[in-house]
């Protein structure tokens, strides 16, 4: 009965809809926990690297863009880390429910075995002293005496086996209860780590906001940042020229490329409103006057939501760049052949690697606040709006 009470206590913190779980479910949860830990480890390493870079840049007055980029990287990484922590928290909660269910099954099995053994012990107490004598006196032949004594020995062995099984079940239940306790300790650690990184996120946001206020309010800082952004744009143009040179392709006749055939019908890389159009603009984050070589799309967001939105490729091609790029954050470039490239910048997380093929709708990354999207042909920036489907 005590085990049943413990079972109810174990289930008290389980997921309401977890239901009964099989051994396969438990194994799947364990695998998911390992996968989540791997992701957390990678993100943790990236975060330490970015925070170290930001610390080194602290005293350098001229590295405005590098500082801003590092703050953006830190914020994006902490957001990603919080999402991964949240996923691991949910998985650990499922693990606790699964382990508690297994503990309850063991407790129920123990109750059944204990009830059987209890009835046998009562019978032995009542008749234990007279059964052997009665077995001999109530028989008329010697073979029958031996047969009855054999039966009695068999019952004794069965009772001994039942007692051993009860002891084994008790050990398994104790081990399972220890697993539940360990999983709950781990869950508490995850929840504490979430609270700590929410503080880290707020600190990073405050640091970025302070730096951006300085950039917007001081002319010298704006000019310095504008010059760095121009230099970054030239660097991106050089990168695209280099990618174009590396690629060996047959030139398509004018008007034959998929993009040209589907001009005005290409899918949008992400749903949302166009926050900044093509051409001259004030940068949405830095407040500097510059020329936008693409568009900025702000995805729809429910009040209080922090979940990143997936950005998708607008057509078939191959990933030729997937890395950080100064002034663009996480940047993915897709080569669509025929001289066409699409660029997906300011990604919170990249979901593709260099060399991977993509088709229209393939997720290339996740974005939190806005996606910077560019369309280029032979390095020349094109206004994406006329090429994308009307909305």
- Using a 10 angstrom Cβ sphere, with 0-12 exposed, 13-18 middle and 19 or more buried, the burial of residue 272 is middle
The confidence score (pLDDT) of residue 2 equals 47
Beta bridge partners of 367: 309
Give the tokens for residue 182.
Answer: 């360990």
Query: Would you tell me which CATH number, out of the four given (1.20.1300.10, 3.40.50.1450, 3.90.1010.10, 2.70.70.10), belongs to the domain 252-387?
Result: 2.70.70.10
Smallest Cα–Cα separation from 216: which of 290, 291, 287? 287
What is the CB-side half-sphere exposure of residue 259 using CA atoms within 13 A? 27
DSSP 388: B
- pLDDT score at 16: 47
Mean pLDDT by 10 residues, the chain (391 residues): 49 49 68 84 80 70 68 80 85 82 78 71 54 54 58 62 73 78 84 86 79 64 65 74 65 75 95 88 63 88 65 95 84 92 92 94 91 91 95 81
Residues 377 and 241: beta-carbon distance below 8 Å: no
Which of 244, 225, 270 minimizes the C-alpha distance to 378?
244
pLDDT of residue 331: 92
Give burial (CB, 10 Å; 0-12/13-18/19+) of 320.
Answer: buried
In sequence order, which residues have a C-beta less than 8 Å from that of residue 42 and are 6 or more positions away?
none
331: helix, strand or coil: strand
Long-range contacts of 320-325 (CB under 8 A, 24+ apart): 320/243, 320/247, 320/354, 321/239, 321/243, 321/354, 322/350, 322/352, 322/353, 322/354, 323/350, 324/69, 324/73, 325/232, 325/235, 325/236, 325/239
Contact 63, 57 (CB under 8 A): yes
The beta-strand segments (E) located in 171-308 are 273-276, 279-282, 289-292, 295-298
Which residues, at least 6 apart from 129, have a Cβ–Cβ distance to it below 8 Å?
A: none
User: Which pLDDT score is estimated for 195?
Assistant: 87
Fold of 2-216: Helix Hairpins (1.10.287)
Torsion of CA 130, 135, 137, 141, to 10 degrees: -170
The domain segmentation of the chain, as residue ranges, is 2-216, 252-387
What DSSP assignment string belongs to 200-239?
Answer: HHHHHHHHHHHHHHHHHH-HHHHHHHHHHHHHHHHHHHHH
Q: Is the pTM of this model over 0.75?
A: no
From CA 205, how far away is CA 71, in angstroms rounded?
Answer: 8
Is the four-CA dihedral 30, 33, 35, 37 of positive or negative sign?
negative
The closest alpha carbon to 10, from 132, 101, 109, belongs to 101
pLDDT at residue 249, rounded to an integer:
55
């Amino acid at each position: 009965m005590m085990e049943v009470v413990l079972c109810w206590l174990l289930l008290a913190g389980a997921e309401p809809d977890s239901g009964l779980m099989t051994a396969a479910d438990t194994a799947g949860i364990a695998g998911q926990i390992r996968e989540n830990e791997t992701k957390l480890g990678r993100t943790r390493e990236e975060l330490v690297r970015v925070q170290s870079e930001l610390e080194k840049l602290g005293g350098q007055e001229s590295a405005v863009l590098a500082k801003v980029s590092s703050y953006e990287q830190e914020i994006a990484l902490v957001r990603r880390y919080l999402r991964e922590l949240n996923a691991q928290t949910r998985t650990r909660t499922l693990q606790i429910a699964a382990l508690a269910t297994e503990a309850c099954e063991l407790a129920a099995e123990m109750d059944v075995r204990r009830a059987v053994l209890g009835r046998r012990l009562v019978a032995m107490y009542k008749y234990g002293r007279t059964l052997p004598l009665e077995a001999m006196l109530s028989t008329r032949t010697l073979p029958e005496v031996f047969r009855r004594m054999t039966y009695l020995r068999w019952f004794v062995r069965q009772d001994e086996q039942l007692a051993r099984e009860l002891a084994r079940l008790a050990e398994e239940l104790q081990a399972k209860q220890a697993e539940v306790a360990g999983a709950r300790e781990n869950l508490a650690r995850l929840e504490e780590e979430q609270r700590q990184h929410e503080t880290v996120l707020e600190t990073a946001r405050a640091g970025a906001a302070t730096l951006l206020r300085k950039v917007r309010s001081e002319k010298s800082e704006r000019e310095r940042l504008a010059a760095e952004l121009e230099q970054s744009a030239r660097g991106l143009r050089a990168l695209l020229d280099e990618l174009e040179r590396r690629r060996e392709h047959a030139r398509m006749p004018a008007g034959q490329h998929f993009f040209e055939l589907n001009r005005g019908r290409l899918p949008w890389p992400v749903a949302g409103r166009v926050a900044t159009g093509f051409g001259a603009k004030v940068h949405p984050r830095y407040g500097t006057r510059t020329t936008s070589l693409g568009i900025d799309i702000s995805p729809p967001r429910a009040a209080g939501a922090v979940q990143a939105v997936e950005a998708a490729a607008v057509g078939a091609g191959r990933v030729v760049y997937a890395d950080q790029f100064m002034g663009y954050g996480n940047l993915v470039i897709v080569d669509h052949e025929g001289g066409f490239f699409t660029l997906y910048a300011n990604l919170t997380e990249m979901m593709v690697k260099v060399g991977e093929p993509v088709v229209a709708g393939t997720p290339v990354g996740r974005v939190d606040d806005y996606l910077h999207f560019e369309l280029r042909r032979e390095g020349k920036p094109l206004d994406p709006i006329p090429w994308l489907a009307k909305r």
